[in-house]
Amino acid sequence: MIKNNQVFDNVLDLIGNTPLIRLNRITSKLKGRFFAKVEAFNPGHSSKDRVALHIIEAAERKGILKPGDTIIETTSGNTGFSLAMISIIKGYNCILAVSSKSSSDKIDILKTMGATVYVCPANVKADDPRSYYEVAKRLHKAHKGSVYINQYFNDLNIDAHYKTTGPEIWKQTEGKITHLVACSGTGGTISGTSKYLKEQNPNIKVVGVDAYGSVLKTYHETGVFDENEIYPYRIEGLGKNLIPKATDFSVIDKFVKVTDEESAHSARLIAKTEGLFVGYTSGAAMQAVFQLEALGEFDANDVVVVIFPDHGSRYMSKVYSDKWMQEQGFLSSENYETEKTTQYPH
Ligand code: PMP
């Protein structure tokens, strides 16, 4: 029997306790000190490992999930990966309703991890029978004894981050954090992390990152759900076309909206300047930091933590493909140099 703190019983033992990494070059011209909570260090390469494990273990404790049972979820990919990974270790079937906006890389990975995947159209209303929310509900009814994770409306989503991400950041910054910048999709990450941090120090400023085409920012500011704001955008996992119950708007100070194009370039810049290969929404969060700095949000002594939710490998056919960037018109802008593959001279 080999037992020491370098050997793990299975991958699940590696969930959480992700590193806080100082950002150096990308923030060299900005006032303040900047740190990234790099969630790609989770074994499933995203923050969703925390949520998936927390919800599954709660269901096990309640006795509603036993080996051989089925787990069902709507997911843009990351939660699906975490659920599929945990299902393998714990012996569950995993069925996922995925948005057609998800990259083909993500969908192929889910299938590789043994999940059954249903791809649902992205650009329909949340209550449309074809939406991934409605498909998941029907799958849940059709599979007797199944558990529907329902991350958008499950308080345990917030709780997972309240119990892990928040305390980790507080400890890692030795209580010196002044700002948290985090993307909001289900809202679980920002709400749970913020709730914990504000309990330690109510002066910490918490900024949510939202997409153009999403309803979150306006809802936070006015309490109005403005359907007219909804239109398709490219960033996956950020913003929403509904108001998720897993978002506690009372612990978020304000929202910043970012564009698809600037977020894509910011994601590429993180790789090139920090050597950190992270996902599209990490670029969105970084872009929000740039915009906040331009608005004079930070002082020299501030300690800003920005959450990078997942790994860059899931976006090879999107943000990290020059072809995709060109198709979106993102490399033609005068503001950006066209990124070419350099030919070795003959
Ligand atoms: N980034 C990515 C890539 C995601 O998949 C998600 C989850 N939808 C988020 C950010 C936002 O996290 P949360 O759902 O906790 O708000």
Cβ atoms of 181 and 304 within 8 Å: the answer is yes
Q: What's the pLDDT score for residue 103?
A: 74
CA atoms of 198 and 204, how far apart (whole Å): 6
Ligand 1 centre to CA of 344 (Å) is 40
Q: Of all protein residues, whose CA lies closest to atom 8 belonging to ligand 1?
A: 237
CA atoms of 105 and 107, how far apart (whole Å): 6
Cβ atoms of 289 and 183 within 8 Å: the answer is no
Beta carbons within 8 Å of 103's beta carbon, 6+ residues apart:
77, 236, 314, 315, 316, 317, 318
Beta carbons within 8 Å of 60's beta carbon, 6+ residues apart:
66, 90
Give the DSSP letter of residue 229: G
Mean pLDDT of the chain: 94
Cβ of 279 below 6 Å from ligand 1: yes
Nearest CA to 253 out of 176, 182, 305 is that of 182
Q: Classify each residue of 82-115 as buried b or exposed e, where b means 16 or more C-beta atoms within 10 Å of its C-beta.
A: bbbbbbeebebebbbbbbebbbebbbebbeebeb
CA atoms of 95 and 83, how far apart (whole Å): 9
Q: Classify each residue of 336-346 as buried b or exposed e, where b means 16 or more C-beta atoms within 10 Å of its C-beta.
A: eeeeeeeeeee
Summarize pLDDT for 201-258 with one digit per residue, the tens: 999 999 999 999 999 999 999 999 999 999 999 998 899 889 999 999 999 999 999 9
For range 318-343, the mean pLDDT? 77
Summarize pLDDT for 130-186 with one digit per residue, the tens: 998 899 999 999 998 899 999 999 999 999 999 999 999 999 999 999 999 999 999
Cβ of 208 below 6 Å from ligand 1: no
- Chain centroid to Cα 44, Å, comes to 12
For range 28-46, the mean pLDDT? 98
Q: How confident is the model at residue 99 (pLDDT cuts 50, 70, 90)?
A: confident
H or E segment to which residue 258 belongs = strand 254-258
Nearest CA to 88 out of 62, 115, 63, 65 is that of 115
Q: What's the pLDDT score for residue 333?
A: 57
Question: Within 10 Å of residue 264's Cβ, how many Cβ atoms?
Answer: 26
Q: In DSSP terms, which residues pair with 57 in a beta bridge? A: none
Q: What's the pLDDT score for residue 105?
A: 77
For range 280-301, the mean pLDDT? 98
Active site residues: 48
Cβ of 309 below 6 Å from ligand 1: yes
20-22 and 33-38: which strand pairing?
antiparallel
Q: What's the pLDDT score for residue 238?
A: 94
Amino acid, single-letter form, for residue 102:
S
Ligand 1 centre to CA of 103 (Å) is 15
For range 94-121, the mean pLDDT? 90
Q: What's the pLDDT score for residue 1?
A: 80
